[in-house]
Chain A
Amino acid sequence: MAHAEGPQHSILPKSDMARAEKHQQHPISVYLWIWGLLFVISMFSYLVDYLQFQGYLRWSLIIVFMLLKAGLIVAIFMHMAWERLALVYAILVPTSALLILIGLMSLEGDYTFQTRGTYFSPSPEVVKHK
């Protein structure tokens, strides 16, 4: 059942193969630091709610802490910082296309909200709120 290897094994001699698949080896302090950092950032994002920040301050803090955490997990824990760009782009470029969908759907959501306010409003106050 040794057929399940990748197709690459036939191309290069054994010695090159061994070099081609370098394992990710990083000192344990890297992981411990990132672990601690994730704890601290999570604490901060919890504090945003605990201290009841509101408005733009709340939204921007939530987004910043979220992106920081996501970046650290992907870059360090998932080792993406050390991968070749061909793999990095294969993952990140399609993902960034989702930003367009977010933009489109927020337009759509806003439009639906205004339509409901105009035509299906339960009471006059809701219309005045806009």
Chain B
Amino acid sequence: MTNSGVLAPAEGLQGVVADWSSDQLAFKKVPWGKAMMWIFLLSDTFIFTIFLISYMTVRMSTEVPWPSTTELFALTIGGHHVPLLLIAIMTFILISSSGTMAMAVKFGYEKNKKITAILLVVTALFGATFVGMQAFEWTKLIVVDGIRPWGNHLGASQFGATFFMITGFHGFHVSVGVIFLLIVARKVWRGDLDHERPGFLTGRKGNYEMVEIMGLYWHFVDLVWVFIFAFFYLW
């Protein structure tokens, strides 16, 4: 930085003040799209947190016992009754997809087209598996256990409302993520990001930052599941 005449940006708290009070650009050293994805995820955090807080409030205020999630989401495998197994498998699948996504970002910046595309497709497959298992979970709950958004015979009627709302919204995020993953994988595979080919929707030039921005979204979906797993299934 010595020859360019541009000062190195300050670090620490002084850096925060300097960044925010500087002209035009508060988020330095990050691509514009990445900063905006973070802002979007912040708003999404608020939506999910408000869902979870509503769940907390109705669960705290009901006098009727809450249905046991341990039993409700158990699976019987080979004659063995394993509690909460379905949700545990879904958790591990989502974590695996986060791992492949993180590596896709890394190989993307190394311009390793083939491995990046493969890892993105693998991530999408994990995501699709997750949604498939969720469809199975919902079907079992609706058809076999008779849970409805407005009531059930196992306990508090608020259970159905919060369950379908929270997991449904999360599953929707996963589904959208799978579609985006496949689109980005196609871009990578075709070399759109190497040749800076404009995208079909926004006309932005392709670059490998897109893979990292995609990754931010995907990790966020995994992050939300961590909280749903803890508060809804384990609590």
Chain A residues at the B interface, C-beta cutoff of 8 Å:
1-2, 4-8, 11-13, 15-16, 19-26, 28, 31-32, 34-35, 38-39, 42, 45-46, 48-50, 52, 58-59, 62-63, 65-66, 69-70, 73-74, 76-79, 83-87, 89-91, 94-95, 98, 101-102, 105-106, 108-110, 112-113, 116-117, 121-122, 126
Contacts and interface: CB of A to CB of B under 8 A. Distances in A.
Contacts of B79: none
Contacts, number: 196
Interface string B137-180: 00000000000000000000000000000000000000000000
Interface in B57-116: 57-63, 70, 83-84, 88, 91-92, 95-96, 98-99, 101-103, 105-106, 109
Given A73-B222, A86-B27, A116 B103 contact: no
B234 interface: yes
B15 A86 contact: yes
B229 interface: yes
Interface string B189-207: 0000000001000111100
A20 B32 CA distance: 11
* Contact residues of A: prevailing secondary structure: helix
* Contact residues of B: prevailing secondary structure: helix
Contacts of B32: 5-8
